[in-house]
Structure 1
Amino acid sequence: MPAAATEAQSAALRTLLRSLGQIVLQPNAFTGACLLAAWLLCDPRLACAALMGAIAANVSAVLAGYREDATRAGLHGFNGALAGLAAFSFIADNATAAAVAILAATGAAWLLEPWSRWLRARDLGFFSSPCLIVTWLWLPLVTRVSQQTAFTAEHTLDATQLSSGLLAGFAQTGFASGALPGLLVLIGIAAASRRHALWALVGAGLASAVHLQFGASASSFEAGLLGFNGALSAIALADCGIAVTLGGVALSVALQTAATYYALPAMTAPFVLATWSMQWFTRRFMRDAAVSEAAECVEARGPVTSPASITSAASVRRAG
C-alpha cells in the first residue's frame, strides 16, 4: 500500500507539472517545473494561481469523466492554469482572484471537450482558446486592465537590454516578467525539444524586431510584451515548414498590433488566431495541390469517369 500510494502521488505530481508545461506546448514535467520556478522567482502569487487553476481543471476533468490519458498529458489542466494566472493578473484582491480562478479554471475544463471536438472536426488545435473565452466573459466585470503596448519612439536598446527583453518574452507566456524567469522557461522548452526552443527564439526575436520597427516602445520590449505571441506561434507551427512558421509569426504580430491599437486585452489570442489561420491555409493549399496533381496524373493516363476518381487519387497520394 505505501508503494502504491507513493506511485499515485508521483503520477499526480507529473500530471500537474505536465499541465504547466503545456502552457508552452510541451507535455513535459521538467518543463512544468521550470515554469513553476519562473513564477516563484517572479512572484509567488503567480505560482499559487497556476497551481490552483491546474488542480481545479484536472479535478473537474476527472469528475466529468474525460479521457484519463489526455488528463495525464496535461491537456485538461493547462487552460485551467492559464485561467488562474489571468485571474490573479487582472484582479488585485487575492480572495476575489482565487474565487474567480477556481470558477474560470473549472469552466475552461468543462468547455474544453465540446469545444475541442468542434475544432478537431476542422483540423484545428484548441491551444489556449478555452482560457481566452472564459476570461473574456468575466474580464469586463473588473476594472483593472492589462498593460498595453505603447507605440512611441524611445531610446536605442543596447545588447544587454536586447537579450533581457528577448528572454522576458518567454516569461510573458505565463503572465510573468523578467529575464531570469524567461531564461528558466526557455530552459524548460529546450529540455523537452531543442528544436522548439530554437524556433521559439526565432519567433520571439522576429516578432519583437517587427514590433520595434513599427514603433513599439522599448519599455514594452523590455517587459517581454512584444515577443511571447511570436514564440508560441513558432513552436505551434514548427513542424509545418519554414515559410508557414514565419508566416504565422508575422500574422501574430499584425493581430497583436491591431489589438493594441483598439486597446483590447488580447493576451495569447494573436498566437491562437495566427496558428489557426496558417493551419487552415496549409491544409487548404495542400488539399488543392494534391487534387490538381492527381487530376493531371489521371488526365495523362486517360479520361476520368467521375469526380470521385480525382478525390480518391488525391487521398492515396496524401496517404503515401
Structure 2
Amino acid sequence: MPALIRSTAALVALAFLAACGTDDAVAPIIPNTTTLTVDASQGYAYVRLAETPTQVTVSDPVASSAWDLGFLATTVTANGGTAGPGGVSVHCLCANEAATTTQLQGFTATNQLGAFEAVTSAQIPAESQFVGDSLAPAVAGWFNGTGAGATANTTRSWIVRRGSTAITLGKLRVTSVTNASAQNAGVIAFEFAVQPTVGMPFGSVTQASVDVRLGPVYYDLSNKVTTTATGTWDLRFAGFEVRTNGGVSGAGTVMTVVDNTTPFATIDAAYAATAPVVAYKRDAYSGVFVAKPWYKYNITGTDNQIWPLFNVYLVKRGTEVYKVQVTSYYSAAGTSRQVTIRSARLR
C-alpha cells in the first residue's frame, strides 16, 4: 500500500532572510511537520526521514543505508548498531511515560500536536544519549564468560517452535564451547531433539557441533546437517551469536522459549506443548523503541487495542536530527497495522 503524506509546514521565514542581508548568514531550520502513513501489516515498511519523509523499498535492510526507520506491526527498528549500516540512533524524550489510562484514552493526534511542535533543537541531548539498535536473539545466554574464557551454559534449554499452520516442536541446548577466542566461540557443541511430524513424540537426541572460526555456519534441525544461507536452515552460528530463522534474522518461522529450570533430559513433546505461543520469541532488534515503546496495549483489560503514548523520539543520522511521534496504529476505517507518524527536522 502506498504511503500517505500530509504536510503542515510552517511559513518560510522570509523576514529573517531579509533582515540578514549578507551572503554568509545561515538561516535556522524551520521545522516542517509532516505526517506519513505506512502499511506495516505484511512486512517491514521502511521510511527515509527528510523534510518530506518517504517510504522506500529496501531489498537488503542489513546492507542498505537508504532507510532510517522500519515499521512492522508495533515494532520500530532504527538503521544503526547491528540493525543496519545507516548510523541511525535514537533518544526518547518520553514525556508521557507516566500517563494514566484516562489520559491515554483522551490523547488524540490533534490535541498532542502542540506538545510535538513545542520540541525544539534546544532539547537535543549529548551524543552519548543516543542509542543504536542491537540484536536481541531468541537464543541468548547460551554461554558464560567472555572471549577465550567462554564456557557453555548447560543449565539453559530452549523449546523450539517451527511452522505457521503445521507446528512442530523441539528442544535445544549448547553443551560445550572449545577453542574460543576474542572474536568467536570456536567450536560449539549442542544437542537437540525434534518432532518428526506434528503431534508426535520427540525423536532421539542428536549431538552435533559447528566450527565458527572461519565464518557463519547454518544448521537444519530436521535433516540434522549443516547447510547454507540459501538452503533450508533453522539455526545460524556466528561469532558469539546463535540466530534463528525467523524475525529479523530470516524468512522462516522459528521461535523459541527459554527454560532455565527443567533439565534438558526431561523436556518432552508433551511438556513443550504447554508453553503458550505468547511466550515464544523471534530474533529481533532491541533499541530505544523496545526499551521505551511508543504504545500501551489493552489498557482497560478488555479493549485489546493499541494506544499511542505520543512520546517524542529524537532520531539522529549523521549531524541531522529529526523529531518523530507515532500517532496511530489504525486507519480511519479501523484497519490495524496502518502506522502513522509525524516528523520534523530539528537540525
| Smaller-chain TM-score bracket | under 0.3
Whichever structure has more strand as a proportion of its residues is 2
- The higher radius of gyration belongs to 2
Larger RCO, structures 1/2 (Cα 8 Å, 6+ apart): 2
Q: TM-score, normalised by structure 2?
A: 0.17
Whichever structure has more helix as a proportion of its residues is 1
Q: TM-score, normalised by structure 1?
A: 0.18
